[in-house]
């Protein structure tokens, strides 16, 4: 039996991993749904995630302006005015203006506006107006050209459709439908991908500030060559850490303390040598694409981009044309509501929707145009009078 055995050399580890990756927590924004059944949830979540979209749509609705209903029979004008101001809308609102605002908001967001006229079975009068999400009913082309049929599913898991009992009470408007299509196109279509990129940039900014925005310090104690310094290095480092923590806690309470220490102590800010990436250019490029889709001047959304007075005037003119387009979509709906009300009151009078001027700037421009036309007419009259006097002489 040998006393000294030959030791086997330790086996070398094969494929030893030298590089490791640390996972990051990242929020995902699911804006890539292409199915039409998810469009309503998609656009609703998009408005909640991107505040500038919600602000732009609200400004479009408010800038569309107010209106009045004019009856061809003056004896029913007071009734029509009272109806427009006091008709209940939904559960908490009243007035025809509130219905038009909610209806237009739905039409811009989802591409379709859906409403219903509620008639009291006892009094046979128009008692309320209701706005609903377009996904609650299914619209099909009617047998007569230019008409629509409205259905609702029997249950969630069934494909059987049941026609609505009173389709004449349904109000439905499609925003920019494609050729041959019944449903409209949302103003937000095409923006989910851009908004996803924008939200990722903002998320990265937040993560970077979580890491480097809240300043963290590295306090390094370097013991000298003296053996006593090296022997008590741990205790001195613990004392430095304790005093440093007390000083930072006192600073949060408004008390300023100086840090004094003997020996070689170095204080650094963690990450001070690195700089945050500038996101101004990509964020502005994405916002320009979004605002171009919404047709809203940047200054209305609080974006201080350089623009001349001439450019701002042109942007206001473009916005005016967009608002006129939305008014043309709302006018038939409001006219139908007014005619149904008058019909239930026993009148076959016609109803006209009179829109107010979009802004005070329009009032100023109209007044200026009238003044210039009057001045031009006066000059023409003077020229004609002068020429007639010369002919007589």
| pLDDT, position 93 | 93
> For the chain, how are helix, strand and coil distributed in percent, rounded to 5?
50, 15, 35
Tell me the pLDDT tens digit for each residue of 303-316: 777 655 555 667 77
User: With contact defined as beta carbons under 8 Å apart, do 96 and 354 qualify?
Assistant: no
pLDDT higher for 15 or 301?
301
**Six-digit token string for 277:** 């990436």
Of the two residues 328 and 259, the one the predictor is more confident about is 328
Sorted by sequence, the CB contacts under 8 Å of residue 140 that are 6+ apart come out as 148, 149, 150, 151, 182
Quick check: 174 pLDDT over 90? yes
The closest of 278, 304, 279, 301 to 290, measured between CA atoms, is 301
- In the predicted model, is pLDDT for residue 28 greater than 80? no
0.75 surpassed by pTM: no
Q: What is the mean pLDDT of residues 126-141?
A: 91
Least confident of 29-33, 36-40, 201-205, 221-225: 29-33
pLDDT of residue 86: 94
Mean pLDDT of 143-172: 86
What confidence category does residue 103 fall into, taking pLDDT thresholds of 50, 70 and 90?
very high
Average pLDDT over the chain, rounded to whole? 81
In whole angstroms, what is the distance from residue 238 CA to residue 122 CA? 85
What is the rounded CA–CA span in Å between residue 37 and residue 294? 23
How far is Cα 99 from Cα 94, in angstroms, rounded to an integer?
Answer: 8
Evaluate if residue 121 carries a pLDDT over 80. yes
Of these ranges, 24-38, 103-117, 136-150, 368-382, the one predicted with the greatest mean pLDDT is: 103-117
Q: Output the CA–CA distances (angstroms, integers) from residue 357 to 49, 129, 338, in the order listed.
A: 33, 26, 21
- Give residue 361's pLDDT: 58
What pLDDT score does 114 carry?
94
């Amino acid at each position: 039996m040998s006393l000294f055995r030959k030791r086997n050399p330790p086996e070398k580890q094969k494929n030893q991993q030298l590089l490791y990756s640390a996972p990051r927590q990242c929020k995902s924004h699911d804006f890539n749904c292409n199915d039409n059944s998810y469009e309503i949830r998609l656009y609703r979540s998009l408005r909640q995630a991107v505040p500038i979209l919600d602000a732009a749509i609200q400004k479009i609705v408010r800038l569309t302006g107010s209106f009045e209903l004019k009856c061809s029979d003056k004896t029913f004008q007071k009734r029509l005015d009272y109806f427009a101001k006091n008709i209940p809308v939904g559960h908490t609102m009243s007035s025809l203006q509130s219905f038009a605002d909610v209806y237009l908001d739905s039409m811009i967001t989802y591409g379709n506006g859906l409403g219903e006229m509620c008639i009291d079975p006892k009094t046979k009068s128009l008692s309320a107006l209701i706005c609903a999400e377009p996904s609650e009913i299914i619209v099909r082309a009617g047998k007569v050209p230019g008409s629509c049929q409205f259905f609702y599913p029997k249950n969630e898991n069934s494909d059987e459709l049941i026609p609505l009992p009173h389709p004449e009470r349904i109000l439905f408007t499609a925003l920019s439908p494609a050729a041959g299509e019944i449903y409209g196109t949302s103003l937000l279509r095409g923006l989910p991908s851009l908004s996803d990129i924008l939200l990722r940039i903002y998320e990265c900014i937040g993560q970077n500030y979580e890491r480097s925005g809240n300043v963290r310090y590295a306090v390094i104690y370097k013991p000298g060559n003296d053996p006593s310094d090296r022997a008590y290095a741990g205790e001195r480092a613990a004392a430095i850490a304790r005093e440093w923590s007390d000083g930072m806690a006192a600073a949060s309470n408004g008390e300023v303390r100086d840090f004094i220490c003997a020996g070689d102590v170095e204080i650094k800010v963690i990450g001070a040598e690195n700089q945050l990436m500038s996101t101004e250019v990509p964020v502005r490029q994405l916002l320009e694409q979004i605002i171009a889709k919404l047709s809203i001047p940047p200054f209305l959304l609080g974006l201080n981009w350089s623009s001349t007075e001439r450019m701002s005037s042109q942007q206001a003119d473009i916005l005016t044309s967009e608002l006129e387009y939305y008014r043309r979509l709302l006018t038939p709906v409001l006219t139908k509501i007014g005619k149904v009300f008058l019909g239930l009151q026993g009148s076959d009078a016609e109803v006209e929707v009179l829109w107010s001027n979009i802004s005070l700037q329009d009032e100023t421009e109209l007044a200026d145009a009238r003044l210039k036309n009057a001045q031009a007419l006066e000059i023409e009259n003077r020229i004609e009078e002068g020429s007639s006097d010369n002919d007589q002489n």
